[in-house]
Amino acid sequence: MCGIFGVFNHKDAANMTYLGLHALQHRGQESAGIASTDDYTMKSHREMGLVSDIFRANVLAKLEGGSAIGHVRYSTSGSSNLGNAQPLVVEYAKGNLAIAHNGNLTNARIIQEELQNYGSIFQSTSDTEVIIHLIALSHEDSTVERLISALHRVEGSYSMVILTNKELIAARDPLGFRPLVLGKLKDSYIVSSETCAFDLVGAKYLREIEPGEILLINEKGIKSYTPFKKKERKYCIFEYIYFARPDSYMFGKTVYSVRKDLGRQLARDTFVDADMVIPIPDSGIGAALGYSQETGIPFELGLIRNHYVGRTFIEPKDSIRHFGVKLKLNAMRDIVKGKRIVVIDDSIVRATTGRKIIKMLRQYGAKEIHFRVSSPPTAYPCFYGIDTPSRSELIASSHTIQEINKYLGSNTLQYLSIESMKAALGNGNYEYCDACFSGTYPSKFPWGMELGQMELFSRGEK
């Protein structure tokens, strides 16, 4: 996962981008970067770490100019190192170009190998670099036309911002997996992964950048291109369930309200008599509120989070994640002792988090623990930009609900069904990719690969 942000025509473009990235920090904590332009030269800075640690005043002061783009990264494709941090910045025949990308190009490796056979030299293992090569190789005249020809070659998901010396370009793939929104602040245009960044910089939300739309912003104003055949939309449902910030308005709804609706639906489907509903913070809070309001079972903060550690899951190393659960959460002894508790989380991936939490709740004297999950079992990997691991690491792909319940140590375990998830989102207008739950992938894999082959291929093992 990643977050992207861009601003055109603002005297403090780099500072604005810094603020935007700060609001998008939840989308990736591994590295961050900003590229800016003063119409003639391009400056950039990328580093591993958190936005507020990287962009000190002295670093921002060097990023001069009236337009900028930025990126926060959590590696889903390519390994975790500075070489893969974005924005990628290059100078090619047509001038300077910087690109920041959220998503995952499923056929990037194929194109990369093809280009390498013709002599192209790649500097990173990130799929985004493929787009730069395709832009550079295109025979079209303008950057936007070159980009359009490049995008005709790639498959998978992308929401991206591109900066040249004189223009900002935003593009979203035809299925619209990843979010991308357009805003305005006085005379400046702003593009962001999520609207929560608009709130921070004081920008007005204008609209989504439509799936398949390419938006060119320059001194003449704003111009929209829709070069692709119109397709059914496939918004990533996991953005709603887990990834996006609750205060963002996305795909036509506020994320928080969706999470509450999922919790209400979960309550209707899986009611159990209990003394309290407690969320696994922060990911389970919205659904737990919905569950509590629907059932009348009191909502309690039975688990307290230490806010000074990063997301546990987000650390790529397994050893850190195991340790991380205890670093991050503690249970409230007095609240949980002797109580029948409904514990709510948004999803189970490997089940290591839930297992440790349940053990802790039992140690502190909880009488009954009923685990409820506000999404269906996560049984399939994502190839479109969410870091859902391969099936071998997803507990729900090889274990029954009963077995998972046993592993967790809960009294009962229930998930939301796919049908109920659809109902909670409003059955009539279901325009989502739910491949991580259903195994129904909205686009064909390259070379007609089967799922097993695609898993190996996407990990670079085939």
Alpha carbons within 13 A on the beta-carbon side of 288: 25
Beta 340-345 vs 276-279: how paired, if at all?
Answer: parallel
Rounded Cα–Cα distance for residues 202 and 10 (Å):
13
* CB of 242 or CB of 256, closer to ligand AMP: 242
Of these residues, 2, 196, 236, 436, which one is catalytic?
2
Nearer residue to ligand AMP within complex by CB, 96 or 347: 347
For 351, residues 6+ apart whose C-beta sits below 8 A from its C-beta are: 395, 404, 407, 408
Question: What is the C-alpha separation between 198 and 428, in angstroms, rounded?
Answer: 30
Residue 330 Cβ, how far from ligand AMP at the closest point, in Å? 16
Structure tokens given for 239? 């953005």
CA 342 to centroid of chain Cα atoms: 28
> Which C-beta is closer to ligand AMP: that of 167 or that of 315?
315
Which of 96/353 has CB closer to ligand AMP? 353
**How many Å apart are CA 203 and CA 175, to the nearest integer?**
26
Q: How far is the CB of 259 from ligand AMP (least distance, A)?
A: 11
Closest contact distance (angstroms) between CB of 92 and ligand AMP is 34
Instruction: Assess contact for 169 and 217: CB atoms under 8 A.
Output: yes
Q: Which is nearer to ligand AMP, 224 or 306 (CB)?
A: 306
Cβ-contact 274, 340 below 8 angstroms: yes
CB of 288 to ligand AMP, least distance (A): 12
Cα-flanking dihedrals φ and ψ of residue 70, to 5°? -145, 165
Q: Which residues have C-beta within 8 Å of that of residue 267, sequence separation ≥ 6?
A: 290, 291, 292, 294, 295
Residues in contact with ligand AMP by the rule CB under 6 A: 242, 280, 283, 313-314, 345-354, 386-388
Query: Would you say 350 or 422 has its CB closer to ligand AMP?
Result: 350
Decide if 2 is catalytic: yes
Shortest approach of ligand AMP to residue 217 CB, angstroms? 31
Q: Which are the contacts of 376, defined by CB distance < 8 A and separation ≥ 6? A: 415, 416, 417, 418, 421, 434, 437, 438
Which residues form the catalytic set?
Answer: 2
